[in-house]
Structure 1
Amino acid sequence: MHASVGDRIVTASGVVGGAVRSGVVVDCPHDDGSPPYRVRWSDTGEETLVFPGPDSLVQPEEEGAQPDDAGPRTARSTTWHVQLTLVEAAGSTTAEAVLVAGPPEHADVGPLRSVGHARRDPHDEEIPVIGDEVAAGRALRRLADAMLGQAEDDITAATGTKGHVHT
């Protein structure tokens, strides 16, 4: 990542539901444009030293100017919600994980769902939260696999070449 004074930096939140922040690079101490940068944030006016990560992008000061003619970059923000429903009975817990709101381009696909199960050994002490954690973890892992599978299908549809997502 490289930036110059006047470029805009956009950073996604590190917490679920957090706001996307944007600011202007006011100081770039390295001649080659490498980080860190001093950024004045548009939401607070505060200046901080920023070491951008993969959740950040730099937009050059000149609108539409991009290295290698990559075209203008835009920031995009979307919120996805996962709903977990847990049912416990007779030493067994079942969790259903549902992606209830995903990207609009998947509206025709419908929600992704997965299920996870946990069963207590009859000799173990009954601690319901442990069954909840195991069943929910299994359901969420399967939901993640389903989401990666959907991404591979989307890559295949967009490119005409079998998609594969490395995990």
Structure 2
Amino acid sequence: MKAATGDRIVTASGVVGGPVRDGVIVETRGPDGTPPYRVRWSDTGEETLVFPGPDSFVDHSGAVHDEGAKRAGEGAGGESRRTLTWQVQVTLVESSGSTTAEATVVGPTSGSLRAVGHARKAPQDEEIPAIGDELAAARALRRLADRLLEVAEYEIAASTGHAAHVHS
């Protein structure tokens, strides 16, 4: 793995359901861009020394490589960039051939939004819990996406003074 100052690094959680973290590489300490890296994490602003493993990748798109613009958060052309992490959690409850999923997203701009989806097995169908999980989760996530679009429309209308419709 090789990186440069200004590249973005994304690291999956070491535990199931844990958060995916991303940050900006502010210093490379290995020869020729190899690890370890000093990373400023987007969720906390904290800087730590990172020895990335197979659960990490470096995003070079829009990375800053020229010496005059190595500031984290600044793109190659000097334009401002920002990186945000939104957490989505889906909780499933199964009972007697019925599955209910609750999807919640927590983002810095939208606060917390929640949506629910349901799936019910037909009486003649075989009991396959994974299918109910997938259907209920998909329905909850679709409703959550619709809620996010509604919030965006409301905020556009509030800022422009005109009704807004966002195409999905």
Same fold (TM over 0.5): yes
Equivalences for 1:34-113 in 2 at 5 Å?
A: 43=38, 53=61, 56=62, 62=68, 73-78=80-85, 80-99=86-105, 101-103=106-108, 105-107=109-111, 111-113=112-114
Counterparts in 2 of 1:141 and 1:106: CA distance versus 1, 3 Å: closer
Task: Flag structure 1 segments of 5+ consecutive residues without an equivalent.
Answer: 1-7, 25-38, 45-49
Note the C-alpha offset of 1:40: 8.7
Q: Which residue of 1 aligns with 2:160?
A: 159
Counterparts in 2 of 1:40 and 1:152: CA distance versus 1, 3 Å: farther
In 2, the alpha carbon distance for the partners of 1:102 and 1:112 equals 9
Note the C-alpha offset of 1:144: 1.0
In 1, the alpha carbon distance for the partners of 2:22 and 2:134 equals 28
Tell me, what secondary structure is at the counterpart of 1:118? strand
Counterparts in 2 of 1:166 and 1:23: CA distance versus 1, 3 Å: farther
Counterparts in 2 of 1:152 and 1:57: CA distance versus 1, 3 Å: farther
Tell me, what secondary structure is at the counterpart of 1:144? helix
Counterparts in 2 of 1:157 and 1:139: CA distance versus 1, 3 Å: same
The CA RMSD measured in Å over matched residues stands at: 3.9
Q: Give me the identity figure in percent.
A: 45
TM-score norm. by structure 1 comes to 0.58
Question: Which AA in structure 2 matches 1:93?
Answer: T
Q: Which residue of 1 aligns with 2:42?
A: none
Q: Please list the CA deviations of residues 9-44 of structure 1 after superposition, one character each: whole Å capped at 9, or x if unmatched.
A: 5547496613233479xxxxxxxxxxxxxx899648
TM-score norm. by structure 2 comes to 0.57
Note the C-alpha offset of 1:165: 2.8
